[in-house]
A and B are shown apart, each in its own frame.
Chain A
Amino acid sequence: MASALRSTILRHIRIPVSQTLTLNGSKLGSGSGAVAFRLFSSHADDHLDKEEVSARVLDVVKSFPKVDPSKVTPDVHFQKDLGLDSLDTVEIVMALEEEFKLEIPDKEADKIDSCALAIEYVYNHPMAG
């Protein structure tokens, strides 16, 4: 039954083979370049550029309740310039962890005490996203 149906249908249906092939071919042709590009650049492509990192780090610091946003510049020191204490510094580092989806080990986190160091660390971190 099924095979009979199949053969009847196949006998009556005509597919314009040449046309679809060229269509597919042209689609493939245009798409293949992009695909190859994605394949070869999978790592470098999604790495953040320095300006974006810098802007996002500064946003995090500015949104911290105790910080005066007008004082925040890329090379500001958390404790000396912004008047924060060590606990605030840890809090900012945790906020950065959340923003960039990282887990910064304690030893590294202790060293981050200024915006410049934070930007540097996040920029050099391969998993920052």
Chain B
Amino acid sequence: MAHWMKNLKVQPNSTSLEEARKRTFEFFRLACRSIPSIMEIYNLQDVVSPSQLRSTVASQIRKNSHVTNPKVIDMLLFKGMEELKNFVDHAKQRHHIIGQYVVGRKGLVQDLGPKDEGISNFLKNFYNSKYS
């Protein structure tokens, strides 16, 4: 995976929204396929599972799903690729990935959906409040 990421070039602009969309999926697949090596590099086995990281990447992409300008999508993809490359090349440290993508914005309690019912609401609200 990493070997062809080394000679990555800036692609020409996407001509249409459809092409930008295709590139987004390509980027997502690339990110998903490099998750195992990232977990290996940063020793994340006991902190997070590959599927959680996949969901995090997907939610990062979904956060920008309202963007319809192909040039903006290209720019976002470029930034995403830069970030991914930094992780794969070990240009970041373990706490970067844990802070940004494992613990994430929601704090210590992840509300990933209907399956997260085990956590008490009190704690959830506490972590979501402006306590820090």
Contacts and interface: CB of A to CB of B under 8 A. Distances in A.
A77 to B, nearest CB: 19
Interface stretch (B5-13, B25-33, B81-89, B99-107): B25-33
Interface residues of B, number: 19
Interface string A51-68: 000000000000111101
26 contacts: A64-B51, A65-B112, A65-B114, A66-B113, A68-B114, A86-B25, A87-B58, A87-B61, A87-B62, A87-B65, A88-B58, A90-B28, A91-B28, A91-B55, A91-B58, A94-B32, A94-B33, A94-B54, A95-B51, A97-B33, A98-B36, A98-B50, A103-B33, A106-B29, A109-B29, A110-B25
Given A65-B113, A87-B58, A91-B32, 11 more contacts: A65-B55, A87-B28, A91-B55, A91-B58, A94-B28, A94-B32, A95-B51, A95-B54, A106-B25, A106-B29, A109-B29
A110 B29 CA distance: 11
Interface string A88-113: 10110011011000010010011000
B130 interface: no
A90 B50 contact: no
A76 B113 CA distance: 21
B114 A94 contact: no
A5 B36 CA distance: 59
A47 B110 CA distance: 39
Candidate in B50, B58, B112 with the most chain A CB atoms within 10 angstroms: B58
Contacts of A68: 114
